[in-house]
């Protein structure tokens, strides 16, 4: 479509001189593109919010793991201390009974076996608790690494 002008007329800025037949189609395409852009921006913003939330969750998990690690290891360490004392005490009891027997004292075989059994039991519990401590510490360390990895943007 052409806009008629008188011969010699001067055009002003933004005066239309023609309109393409496909103008309405092009305007619709621009509207579609603008809508797609708006939707893409909204999707990007939602993904960014979700990512930030995921980072906050990973950081909270990391903090929880750190707090639990300290208290759990402290409890195991206290048990280790107790078991070490128990093992030493049982070893001293066995040594006393052996010494008494070696000096000619009367020590029932049953008493000696009980003392040796108590020492073996204390040693076994001590070894098992040491293994538990190592496992617990490793588990927390790996959980911490995973949480840190999950919080890296």
Q: What is the pLDDT of residue 153?
A: 59
* Three-state secondary structure call for residue 152: coil
* Three-state secondary structure call for residue 2: strand
Residue 102 C-alpha from the chain's centroid: 59
* Three-state secondary structure call for residue 50: helix
Q: What is the pLDDT of residue 16?
A: 80
The pLDDT tens digits along the chain (153 residues) read 677 778 888 888 888 887 777 878 888 999 999 999 999 999 999 999 998 888 787 778 778 778 888 889 999 999 999 999 999 999 999 999 999 999 988 989 999 999 999 999 999 999 999 999 999 999 988 888 887 776 665
**pTM, entire model:** 0.57
Residue 103 C-alpha from the chain's centroid: 61
Query: Nearest 5 degrees, angle CA 33-CA 35-CA 39?
Result: 115
Alpha carbon distance 86, 46 (integer Å): 59
Alpha carbon distance 3, 17 (integer Å): 5
């Amino acid at each position: 479509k052409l806009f008629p002008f008188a011969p010699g007329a001067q055009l002003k800025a933004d005066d239309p001189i023609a309109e393409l037949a496909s103008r309405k189609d092009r305007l619709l395409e621009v509207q579609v593109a603008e809508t797609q852009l708006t939707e893409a921006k909204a999707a990007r913003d939602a993904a960014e919010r979700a990512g930030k939330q995921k980072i906050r969750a990973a950081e909270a998990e990391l903090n929880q793991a750190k707090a639990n690690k300290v208290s759990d290891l402290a409890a195991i360490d206290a048990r280790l201390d107790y078991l070490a004392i128990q093992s030493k005490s049982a070893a001293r009891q066995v040594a006393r009974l052996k010494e008494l027997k070696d000096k000619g004292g009367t020590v029932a075989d049953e008493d000696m076996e009980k003392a040796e059994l108590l020492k073996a039991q204390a040693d076994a519990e001590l070894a098992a608790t040491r293994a538990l401590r190592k496992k617990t510490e490793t588990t927390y360390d790996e959980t911490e690494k995973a949480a840190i990895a999950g919080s890296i943007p």
